[in-house]
Amino acid sequence: MIKVEITDGILEGTEEKNKYGGSYFSFKGIPYAEPPLGDLRFKAPQKPKPWKGVRPAKEFGPICYQYDVYNKKIHGSEDCLYLNVYTPELKPTKPVPVMFWIHGGGLINGSGNDDLYGPEFLVRQNVILVTINYRLEVLGFLCLHTKDVPGNAGIKDQVAALRWVNKNIERFGGDPDNVTIFGESAGGACVSFHCMSPMSKGLFKRAIIQSGIATCWLPNVFQPRERALVLARDLGCDSDNETDIIEFFKSQPIENLINKQIKLTLMENIKEYPCVSFGIVSEKEFPGIERYFHGDIYDVLRKGIHEDIEVMNGYTEDEGIIFLAGNCDLPKIYEQSNNCLEYFVPKPIEINCPLTIQMEVGTRFKKFYFGQQKVSSDTLDQFVKYVSADNFIYPSILWQKIVAKRNKNELFFYKFNCKSERNIFTQLMGIPDLFKDQTVVCHGDDLPYIFPVKIFEQNISMDSEAFKMIDKVTKLWTNFAKYGDPTPDNTLGVKWSPYTRKEENYIIIEQFLTASKAPDSSTFDFWESIFKEFYPHVAV
């Protein structure tokens, strides 16, 4: 029997054969906080209660109640605060570096389970992998700016899981002083917030930010309290009394609190474009309540991230394709973007600048990306480039440049461009027809090079070109986790030099690694010029 004793009790796990070599030990469904039920709904996570005897850790814990975009069904539970530990050795001669994964999904869906995030590729590189579930959407990110519902419960769940790792990972052979947090999409944005939050300080040594960042407009929710009040009215609460509203939300059946799009402005309601209704907020201060984040994101970032951490940051070649998924109405996009110049206005300018400025900004963006052409199926590639820059390229490089300016952290930057049969996210998201004649590197297409994707798994030969790329990518990620340097020796053929203010070094990750400088500089420079002229608070 495979047993480990942690601070809360004894766990029984399993030893699993890794079809890519060796074996590993698996411990699933470990509670890292009390179930957030009843009066604990919307509140920060509480420490879990110890158990007596041996707790089986052979099955995943429930995931947060959600609409599953891959399986097109509603499932999960409000009792969802569980994590999983996969370790190559339980009693190594030297403690093993730890990689702590934060899943993406727009803060709306996803989990740490192995349908997308299996451990096999990473543990063969001799690291421990920890994956987690956390509260999502309304359950995780409702904010009333009150002591009972201050906001950010879902990202405080992540902090609780990190604290659990710091306290317990030694029992699994891990090194609590060498923890790397990493995440993709909304998970990447969360990682970048942890780099700034006082609650997260000291809980990790390194961070990898994949295709999502705190300076992206999506996770930064505009007017969170007002959105919560709109939701309350939509669900039938007519009271203006604070206590009544909180009790109303606590009494709602869970199915009323998922798949909710609260579009606050006329533009949000009309515009065919992604909108996050519940996300990370600037919290108000209340006695006895830990505050995860406070302040304007750009002001906080300019004061610096935690000085004792190293960070790797980047994005994929064709990020914006993801926004063509699901129920995206392309004819409506074409109509709006051709007839309304405000369509091409980034969120910070949309909510802070008058319409006359928005019209001028929209004119410049449309000319930069489309010239005299119309937005149509013939220019869809240009539309994808605009969406990629709006949500990923400009915010990611902006974050990197602001942090590099202080010269307090070792930074690395990459652009992911691996192409093989592993690039499956256009198929997973239901948009293959638009790109059936080409292999693209969509948002999320980096993930199958880091994790086996069980829900769409292929039989992959270890002699294939795709597996060689998997081996290369996982070496880069785990080298960074082990040493703070993705290329500590010459085995990968290229030296990945740090990104600095003077030397904007980065690596293009594809079949072969290519060192370069100033990623997407023409795109960044154009966006930066717009913000400097019309809303300089955002610019570097």
Q: What is the CATH number of the domain that holds 379?
A: 3.40.50.1820
Catalytic option among 103, 194, 306, 443? 443
Among 260, 286, 308, the domain-final residue is 308
Q: Same domain, yes or no, for 236 and 335?
A: no
pLDDT at 434 over 80: no
CB 16 within 8 A of CB 57: no
Global pTM?
0.97
Catalytic option among 319, 350, 504, 528? 319
Q: Is residue 36 part of a domain?
A: yes
| Residues 368-381, mean pLDDT to the nearest whole number | 95
| Known active-site residue 306 | no
* Residue whose pair of structure tokens reads 């399993």 in the numeric block: 14
Q: Same domain, yes or no, for 67 and 27?
A: yes
pLDDT on residue 68: 80
Which distant-in-sequence residues (6+ apart) come within 8 Å of 87 by Cβ?
24, 25, 27, 96, 123, 128, 172, 173, 174
**Residues facing 239 on adjacent strands:** none
**Rounded CA separation 128/26 (Å):** 10
Q: Is residue 224 part of a domain?
A: yes
Q: Is residue 539 part of a domain?
A: no
Q: Same domain, yes or no, for 144 and 107?
A: yes
Q: Same domain, yes or no, for 251 and 272?
A: yes
pLDDT per position as a tens digit, 199-234: 999 999 999 999 999 999 877 788 999 999 999 999
Name the residue range of residue 179's domain.
2-308
3-class SS string, 191-252: HHHHCCCCCCCCCCCEEEEECCCCCCCCCECCCHHHHHHHHHHHCCCCCCCHHHHHHHHHHC
Among 258, 293, 308, the domain-final residue is 308
Q: Is residue 540 part of a domain?
A: no
Q: Same domain, yes or no, for 304 and 347?
A: no
3-class SS string, 458-484: CCCCCCCHHHHHHHHHHHHHHHHHHHC
Residue 53 is classified by DSSP as: S
Among 276-280, 492-496, 515-519, which stretch is predicted with the lowest mean pLDDT? 276-280
Q: Same domain, yes or no, for 485 and 414?
A: yes
pLDDT on residue 275: 80
Pick from 138, 213, 263: nearest CA to 402 = 213
Q: Same domain, yes or no, for 419 and 502?
A: yes
Catalytic option among 185, 211, 282, 420? 185
Q: Same domain, yes or no, for 443 and 413?
A: yes
**Residues facing 75 on adjacent strands:** 66
| Known active-site residue 319 | yes
Q: Same domain, yes or no, for 248 and 385?
A: no
Please give the tally of structural domains in the chain. Answer: 2
| Residues 40-63, mean pLDDT to the nearest whole number | 97
Instruction: Please compute Rg for the chain using Cα positions.
Output: 23
pLDDT per position as a tens digit, 305-327: 999 999 999 999 999 999 887 67
Q: Is residue 257 part of a domain?
A: yes
Single-letter amino acid, residue 311: V
pLDDT per position as a tens digit, 107-151: 999 999 999 999 999 999 999 999 999 999 999 999 999 999 999
Average of per-residue pLDDT values in the chain: 95
Q: Same domain, yes or no, for 341 and 390?
A: yes
Q: Same domain, yes or no, for 103 and 129?
A: yes
Q: Same domain, yes or no, for 323 and 303?
A: no
